[in-house]
């Protein structure tokens, strides 16, 4: 039996990278999907791929900073499929970098709004729907940055992403008695468009690669398999965790 058979799953940031790979894997494992991102064209292309493989999917384009968008995603799940079992709050940005003394207030606020507040607004309405079923799995994409170590000139990103770990723990403690599990996945470097935009030279990519114990960066598909574990009943006794899937970047000093 497929690991997400008869499950309804919502994924934000689904148009590329980890979100896209996770959507395809979830569909393969039997989930009915609601996929979200800002870029409607990319979402439509992904939906077409999933449908051509026999999957069921609905798309809702929008901005996770909007609470109305969070409501719309959940409403689509309930209207189209009757319930919500899994939510992967994956949408995120790197945000404004540079010396922290020079980061603008607008840049700081944008990183927190997308990475942290957007995830909270999503979970707020996702959990509300899951409580009606008496179970559910909420997953956030955090990062090792601001958890096991951080890079200079990335304060907004580190703060917003590490905030997700506190949010994970608070929600897990609050809603565990009602059968809702909440976890965060913490990737190392992953070969996504965002990673390539940030590390756009061979020297930069070589530097990042060497930080990992495995001496390579991850693939979106590898992260998707870890998210699948947290989404599925395989992790039925796992909640409140910050799960490193980082290729050993957190423990490497060579």
| φ, ψ for residue 44, nearest 5 deg | -65, -40
Which strands form 242-245's sheet, in the order they lie side by side?
A: 57-61, 32-37, 8-11, 86-89, 136-141, 180-187, 242-245
In the set 69, 147, 157, 195, the catalytic residue is 157
Picking from 105, 64, 107, 109, the residue whose alpha carbon sits closest to that of residue 87 is: 64
- DSSP characters over 37-96: ES-HHHHHHHHHHHHHTT--EEEEE--TT-HHHHHHHHHHHHHHHS---EEEE-------
Contact 143, 89 (CB under 8 A): no
Catalytic annotation present for 69: no
164 SS3 class = helix
Give, in order, the Cα–Cα distances in Å from 235 to each of 106, 136, 232, 243: 39, 11, 6, 12
- Please identify every residue annotated as catalytic: 157
């Amino acid at each position: 039996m497929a690991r997400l058979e008869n499950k309804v799953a919502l994924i934000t940031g689904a148009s590329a990278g980890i979100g896209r790979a996770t959507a395809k894997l979830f569909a393969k494992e039997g989930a009915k999907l609601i996929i979200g991102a800002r870029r409607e064209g990319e979402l439509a292309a992904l939906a077409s791929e999933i449908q051509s493989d026999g999957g069921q999917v609905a798309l809702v384009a929008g901005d996770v900073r909007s609470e109305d968008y969070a409501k719309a995603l959940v409403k689509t799940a309930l209207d189209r499929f009757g319930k919500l079992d899994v939510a992967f709050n994956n949408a995120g940005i790197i945000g404004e970098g540079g010396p922290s003394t020079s980061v603008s207030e607008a840049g700081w606020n944008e990183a927190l709004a997308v990475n942290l507040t957007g995830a909270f607004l999503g979970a707020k309405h996702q959990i509300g729907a899951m409580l009606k079923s008496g179970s559910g799995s909420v997953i956030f994409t955090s990062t090792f940055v601001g958890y096991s170590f951080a890079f200079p000139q990335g304060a907004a990103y580190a703060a917003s992403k590490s905030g997700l770990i506190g949010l994970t723990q608070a929600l897990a403690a609050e809603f565990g008695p009602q059968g809702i599990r909440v976890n965060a996945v913490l990737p190392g470097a992953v070969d996504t468009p965002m990673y390539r935009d940030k590390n756009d030279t061979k020297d930069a990519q070589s530097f990042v690669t060497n930080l990992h114990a495995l001496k390579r960066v991850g693939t979106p598909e590898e992260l998707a398999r870890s998210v699948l574990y947290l989404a599925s009943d395989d992790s039925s006794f796992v909640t409140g965790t910050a799960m490193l899937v980082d290729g050993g970047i957190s423990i490497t000093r060579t």
